[in-house]
Structure 1
Amino acid sequence: MQALYDVPAPAKLNLFLHVVGKRPDGYHLLQSIFTLIDWADTLHFERRGDGRLARHDGADAMAELPEDDLCLRAARLLRTESGDAALGANIHLEKRLPAGAGMGGGSSDAASTLLALNRLWGLNWPLARLLPLGLKLGADVPFFLGGRNAFVEGIGEILHPVDLPAQTYFVLKPPTSIATQEIFSSPLLARSKSVAIVAGFPAHNSSDDKNESLQSTGAEVVKLDAQGVAKLCGGFGSNDLQKPAEAICPEVRQALQLLEARYGNSRMTGSGSAVFARVSSEEKDGMSNQSMATMLQDLPGAWTGKICRGLDRHPLSGWA
């Protein structure tokens, strides 16, 4: 195999996000449900035999990017672990996901790079071997490698698969981005939310009767119906990063208010600055393509909005 084209790297939304503690090494312990959506970057890979790794960033020529470029970090890490210094690739990234949105764009790019090069280079490693590499690249990367929606714990490495019903979301991104470190260092951040208990999941944290409870059914895969998703997007829990984000970036509050007025629900995803609202089936059926286009045109200048469909599985599920 010499090339892989049109490799998707989808975004995620956090239906809720609780900060439940902090490790001695400074990493925060989280609980969240991550759902994949059909807003995605696209990557193209061409194999090289000279050991060079280069990413095409839209300029006319291939160029070496900084060490912290996530696609190249993923490629270098996989090559190092393989022990074959001759492995190389040209990587072209078509960036469609907004940066600094809290939608996991960079992590998703890294995960798709690991999955694609694992196949392109003929390594054919199982997922269990790729997951530790993903965690080295970022806390969200294992989720994108995992292939399906999940209840996430720890720093992102504990994944419990979740079946979610077909769902539509309106995602809104103000032009301002927020540094994740600024959010986590804010005095407004609550760092010891009670651990949520989700029926059907193994317990990985101590709990007591005061903990919030989100009830679902199922065994290995927990299934949520439409009412369960509605509860996640509104009545259940919160995004604990949202309050400090609103203080740092007033446009986040403005975006939340816009969606709340239109859909009756709104929540920030990740560390922002993107926010989203669940669109009910009735609202979706009543929205023509023209009305959607008009709504997008009415957004403030430089804002980005998109109607997104939730995905049942990652498009690359089964690649490892």
Structure 2
Amino acid sequence: MNTTSFTTFPSPAKLNLFLHIVGRMDNGYHQLETVFQFLDYHDTLAFKITENNAITLLNPIPGVDNNDNLIIKAARLLQSFTGCHQGVDIQLEKRLPMGGGLGGGSSNAATVLLALNTLWKTNLTIKQLAELGLTLGADVPIFIHGYAAFAQGIGEQLTPASPKTYWYLISKPNCSISTQSVFTSKDLTRDTPSIRYSDDNIENYHNDCQTWVIKHYPEVAKLLAWLIEYAPSQMTGTGACIFSRFSSKQEACYVQSLLPAGIESFVAEGLNESPLHVAIAAVNDN
């Protein structure tokens, strides 16, 4: 990536350490309970501020129309909301798999909002940015706030949490899963009892979407069955990625070396503070 005169920021992955669906609202949205934790693995976005008002993604994602890309939508939203007359050229280094449940698109949108709020000096508060982000997607606010959290509602009601930080092997079978297809399914569990969350009890919780996905995606079911032989393993979000929990990087890398051929994977450490916020603070300090 040519980053001359560009300012770069990480766009981190997240895990849903569990995901309970406790109800459904009249507008069709699902009421969720989940814990978000970040990973030290990320896309990278680089920004070059321009004096015209054009928003340009220099390397569009294949198969994604720019007008549908959350990177472009987030920049235009902030520009419109604040009346900013500057523009930006953006370069994306994509590492997070699409359709994997790691929040890549939402994370990209949050990185754009936070980065441009700093670089354009539009001076919105975190609360204002989170409210803007929520109009782009339910997972955007967690990336805006930048701390591990127990989330309720559609994922926007956040209570800070401190789950244990393990080393994770993240594995993705050769399939992508549409969030919409999961949440519109008639046979998805939607009546899990609400919990009183405790960081110490997190390993007893589950992912309601996983039951549906492994029924309809044999690739996920097969990989999950394989991984469970080596470590506690669970699907994140609506899939298709599976995270396996280890106490050391060495153990995670060993099991990664044994994965069946054709499985996309990476090893990363869990984080309770987003690396994006560390990067934003560094720019502000300068």
TM above 0.5, yes or no, is: yes
Aligned to 2:235: 268
SS at match of 1:243: helix
Does the 8 Å CA contact 1:15/1:33 hold for their aligned counterparts?
A: yes
- Judged with a 3 Å threshold, the aligned counterparts in structure 2 of structure 1 residues 39 and 270 are, in CA distance, closer, same or farther, namely same
- Judged with a 3 Å threshold, the aligned counterparts in structure 2 of structure 1 residues 145 and 4 are, in CA distance, closer, same or farther, namely farther
Aligned to 2:151: 152
Deviation at 1:184, TM superposition (A): 1.3
Deviation at 1:316, TM superposition (A): 2.7
Does the 8 Å CA contact 1:54/1:65 hold for their aligned counterparts?
A: no
SS at match of 1:262: coil
SS at match of 2:66: coil
Alignment of 1:32-181 (within 5 A): 32-57=34-59, 65-84=65-84, 86-181=85-180
Aligned to 2:284: none
Does the 8 Å CA contact 2:17/2:36 hold for their aligned counterparts?
A: yes
Does the 8 Å CA contact 1:4/1:120 hold for their aligned counterparts?
A: no
Deviation at 1:3, TM superposition (A): 5.4
Deviation at 1:285, TM superposition (A): 6.9
Does the 8 Å CA contact 1:55/1:65 hold for their aligned counterparts?
A: no
Aligned to 2:7: 5
Does the 8 Å CA contact 2:173/2:263 hold for their aligned counterparts?
A: yes
SS at match of 1:163: coil
Q: How many residues align?
A: 275
Aligned to 1:309: 269
Distance in 1, Cα, partners of 2:166 & 2:189: 30
Larger Rg: 1
Distance in 2, Cα, partners of 1:42 & 1:179: 23
- Judged with a 3 Å threshold, the aligned counterparts in structure 2 of structure 1 residues 127 and 246 are, in CA distance, closer, same or farther, namely same
Distance in 1, Cα, partners of 2:202 & 2:114: 30
Deviation at 1:298, TM superposition (A): 3.8
SS at match of 1:155: coil
Aligned to 2:219: 251
Distance in 2, Cα, partners of 1:16 & 1:145: 20
Alignment of 1:182-201 (within 5 A): 182-198=181-197
Distance in 1, Cα, partners of 2:215 & 2:165: 33
Distance in 1, Cα, partners of 2:145 & 2:38: 11
Distance in 1, Cα, partners of 2:122 & 2:180: 35
Equivalent pairs: percent with the same residue?
40
SS at match of 2:31: strand
Distance in 2, Cα, partners of 1:80 & 1:133: 11
Does the 8 Å CA contact 1:188/1:243 hold for their aligned counterparts?
A: no
Distance in 1, Cα, partners of 2:140 & 2:162: 20
Aligned to 2:202: 232
Does the 8 Å CA contact 1:4/1:116 hold for their aligned counterparts?
A: no
SS at match of 2:8: strand
Query: TM-score under structure 1 normalisation?
Result: 0.81
SS at match of 1:316: helix
In the TM superposition, what whole-angstrom CA distance separates every residue of 1:216-239 from its partner, at most 9, and x where no partner exists? 3xxxxxxx3xxx2xx524xx1210
More displaced, 296-305 or 131-140?
Answer: 296-305
Is there any run of 5+ residues in structure 2 with no aligned partner, and where?
282-286
Deviation at 1:25, TM superposition (A): 1.1
**Amino acid paired to 1:155:** I
Q: CA RMSD in A?
A: 2.1
Q: Which runs of 4+ in 1 moved over 3 A?
A: 294-298
SS at match of 1:197: coil
In the TM superposition, what whole-angstrom CA distance separates every residue of 1:251-305 from its partner, at most 9, and x where no partner exists? 1111211210011x111000000011111x2xx2764xxx82x643543333111
Deviation at 1:147, TM superposition (A): 1.1
Aligned to 1:31: 33
Distance in 2, Cα, partners of 1:127 & 1:95: 25
Does the 8 Å CA contact 2:13/2:102 hold for their aligned counterparts?
A: yes
**Amino acid paired to 2:266:** K
In the TM superposition, what whole-angstrom CA distance separates every residue of 1:198-224 from its partner, at most 9, and x where no partner exists? 2xxxxxxxxxxxxxxxxx3xxxxxxx3
In the TM superposition, what whole-angstrom CA distance separates every residue of 1:85-139 from its partner, at most 9, and x where no partner exists? x221001110000000001011001000000000110112210111110100100
SS at match of 2:32: strand
Distance in 2, Cα, partners of 1:255 & 1:98: 16
More displaced, 175-184 or 50-59?
Answer: 50-59
Distance in 1, Cα, partners of 2:46 & 2:236: 27
Deviation at 1:161, TM superposition (A): 0.6
Distance in 1, Cα, partners of 2:193 & 2:117: 39
Deviation at 1:65, TM superposition (A): 5.0
Distance in 1, Cα, partners of 2:121 & 2:178: 37
Distance in 2, Cα, partners of 1:241 & 1:93: 30
